[in-house]
Amino acid sequence: MHVIEQTSVGAPEVLQLTEAPMPVPGPGEVRIRVAAAGINPVDAMVRAGAIPLLGDPPFRVGWDAAGRIDALGEDVTGFAIGDRVMGLIRFPEQVGAYAQFINAPAAQLARIPDLMTDEAAGALPLAGLTAWQALVSHGRIKSGQKVFVHAGGGGVGHIAVQIAKAHGAEVWATASAGKIETVRSLGADHVIDYKEQDFAASGPFDLILDHAGGEHVGRSLDALKPGGHVTTLLDPGEEITARAEREGKTLVWMMVKPDAAGLTAMGELVRAGQLKVLIGGSFPLAQAAQAHQALARSPLGKIVLTV
Ligand SMILES: NC(=O)c1ccc[n+]([C@@H]2O[C@H](COP(=O)([O-])OP(=O)(O)OC[C@H]3O[C@@H](n4cnc5c(N)ncnc54)[C@H](OP(=O)(O)O)[C@@H]3O)[C@@H](O)[C@H]2O)c1
């Protein structure tokens, strides 16, 4: 079978198509014939050697996959050969989802709603679960709250806007000029061009999803109500963390986790017409390097590989 592997860290061109033995599913695992694999910023960071999650190369990046189950390991219940499934698989350990076949723990998989495309299902897991865990698990989002989503046109942000809207929040988001109309069409009530306007002036908010970390989280704290909550995706630093505590605001720096229940809940939103995954670029498996280049150009929504 074909897989994308790298034998050194560096620019996107280190991602090479190669051959590997067919994986054999162990106990509790299924084998997926991959139809689509999402690309995330963490893939690019590990590929480049900026985050050594997988140790020294050779290794295979990629954690998002959607496809059909084509073999079952022992003790797997609830799934059958031929089922369409999606998952954030084994993150942050190696799975190598840019491949024709992968093994996945059945407990980390959700069924793909009938009307959802393979591309959308392959692109949803990591970004979608990040948005879900940030707003629902950590943020305990409630109807009627004022919720602010930074980077509303990005992979995580465009899904977060829709999750917040589906929970009955009044939603603010930032986006660069070319993405504003799309972010509005996803349900954001107010969209701010962050290059022209200070988002903090629109607060105070009950709940904020901060994508940037560091001093940026300090600005998010400025825009938060007393007792409000910020979930940040990147390190806020000790000083900002201490400031949040002093001000009686909750600040969580999260790391996304595989979560079949969260994915199933998002599948329900897709089914109900309340969530769609925007595909900003789609590439065949052999063009994984071009897909990583496309991610670096700040796409609208998600970049995905089709297999
Ligand atoms: N901790 C975790 O578990 C976790 C999980 C997922 C992602 N992340 C991190 O979260 C970040 C976002 O991930 P992603 O997948 O959404 O990335 P993405 O798809 O590349 O989207 C990021 C977006 O941020 C926007 N942006 C850049 N500077 C901005 C600013 N100052 N204010 C508002 N928007 C700005 C860009 O859009 P414009 O064209 O509008 O500028 C870009 O599209 C990445 O750094 C990623 O590594 C962390």
Q: How many CA atoms lie within 13 A of 243 on its CB side?
A: 15
If one residue of 132, 179, 233, 252 were mutated to test the ligand 1 pocket, choosing by the most ligand atoms within 8 A of its CB, it would be 233
Q: What is the whole-number distance in angstroms between the Cα of residue 151 and the centre of ligand 1?
A: 6
Rounded to the nearest whole angstrom, what is the distance from the C-alpha of residue 236 to the centroid of ligand 1? 15
CATH node for 2-124+277-306: 3.90.180.10
Task: Please state, rounded to an integer, the average pLDDT across all residues of the chain.
Answer: 98
Work out the average pLDDT over 257-274.
98
Regarding the beta carbon of 194 and ligand 1, being less than 6 Å apart is answered yes
- Which atom of ligand 1 lies at the shortest distance from residue 154's CA? 21
- Give distance in angstroms: CA of 243 to centre of ligand 1: 24
Atom of ligand 1 minimally distant from the CA of 301: 19
Closest protein CA for atom 47 of ligand 1: 41
Q: What percent of the chain has pLDDT over 70?
A: 100
Counting Cα atoms < 13 Å in the Cβ hemisphere of 271 gives: 10
Of the candidates 91, 67, 86, which has an alpha carbon nearest to the alpha carbon of residue 124? Answer: 86
| Tens-place pLDDT, residues 292-302 | 999 999 999 99
pLDDT for res 137: 98
Interior angle at CA 71, CA 305 and CA 106, nearest 5: 75
> Is ligand 1 within 6 A of the CB of residue 153?
yes
| Average pLDDT rounded to a whole number, residues 4-12 | 98
Residue minimizing CA distance to atom 39 of ligand 1: 176
What digits encode the pLDDT tens for the residues 129-166? 999 999 999 999 999 999 999 999 999 999 999 999 99
Q: Is the Cβ atom of 42 under 6 angstroms away from ligand 1?
A: yes
Question: In this predicted structure, what is the pLDDT of residue 77?
Answer: 94
Domain ranges of the chain: 2-124+277-306, 127-253
What is the dotted CATH code of the domain comprising 127-253?
Answer: 3.40.50.720
Cα Rg of the chain, angstroms: 19
Q: Give the tens place of pLDDT for each residue, 13-58.
A: 999 999 999 999 999 999 999 999 999 999 999 999 999 999 999 9
Cβ(234) – ligand 1 distance below 6 Å: yes
119 pLDDT band, cuts 50/70/90, is very high
DSSP 108-149: GEEEPPTTS-HHHHHHSHHHHHHHHIIIIIIT---TT-EEEE
What is the rounded distance in angstroms from the CA atom of residue 131 to the CA atom of residue 159? 6
Q: Is 304 in the pocket of ligand 1 (CB under 6 A)?
A: no
221 touches ligand 1 (CB under 6 Å): no
* DSSP-derived pairing of the beta strands 190-193 and 250-253: unpaired
What is the average pLDDT across 82-93?
98
User: What is the pLDDT averaged over residues 92-111?
Assistant: 98
Q: Which residues on adjacent β-strands are paired with residue 36?
A: 66, 306
Residue 26 has a pLDDT of 98
Contacts of 201 (CB under 8 A, 6+ apart): none
Instruction: Give the confidence band of 181 by pLDDT, cuts at 50, 70, 90.
Output: very high
Q: What angle do CA 210, 229, 204 make, to 5 degrees?
A: 85
Which residue, by CA, sits nearest to atom 25 of ligand 1?
151
Q: Is 291 left (phi over 0), alpha (psi -120 to 50) or beta?
A: alpha
Nearest CA to ligand 1 atom 24: 151
Q: What percent of the residues of the chain are helix, what percent strand, and what percent coil, each to the nearest 5?
A: 35, 30, 40
Give the pLDDT score at 50. Answer: 98
Q: Do 2-124+277-306 and 127-253 share a fold?
A: no
Whole-prediction pTM: 0.98
Mean pLDDT of 92-117: 98
Q: How confident is the model at residue 108 (pLDDT cuts 50, 70, 90)?
A: very high
Q: Are 220 and 147 in contact (CB under 8 A)?
A: no
122 CB within 6 A, ligand 1:
no
Check residue 187 and give its pLDDT: 97
Please enumerate in sequence order all residues whose Cβ is within 8 A of that of 81, keeping only pairs 6 or more positions apart, or say none: 69, 70, 71, 72
CA–centroid distance, 179 to ligand 1, in Å, is 13
- Sequential DSSP letters for 150-194: SSTTSHHHHHHHHHHHHTT-EEEEEE-GGGHHHHHHTT-SEEEET
The pair of three-digit structure tokens given for residue 106, joined into one six-digit string = 């059945």
What pLDDT does 231 receive? 98
Percent of the chain with pLDDT over 90: 100
Ligand 1 centre from 70 Cα, in Å? Answer: 34
Characterize 103-127 residue by residue with b for buried, 16 or more Cβ atoms within 10 angstroms of its Cβ, and e for exposed: bbbbebbbbbbeebbbbbbbbbbbb
Does residue 183 contact residue 164 with C-beta atoms inside 8 Å?
A: no
What integer is the mean pLDDT of 106-115?
A: 97
pLDDT at 263: 98
For residue 302, which atom of ligand 1 is closest to its CA? 19
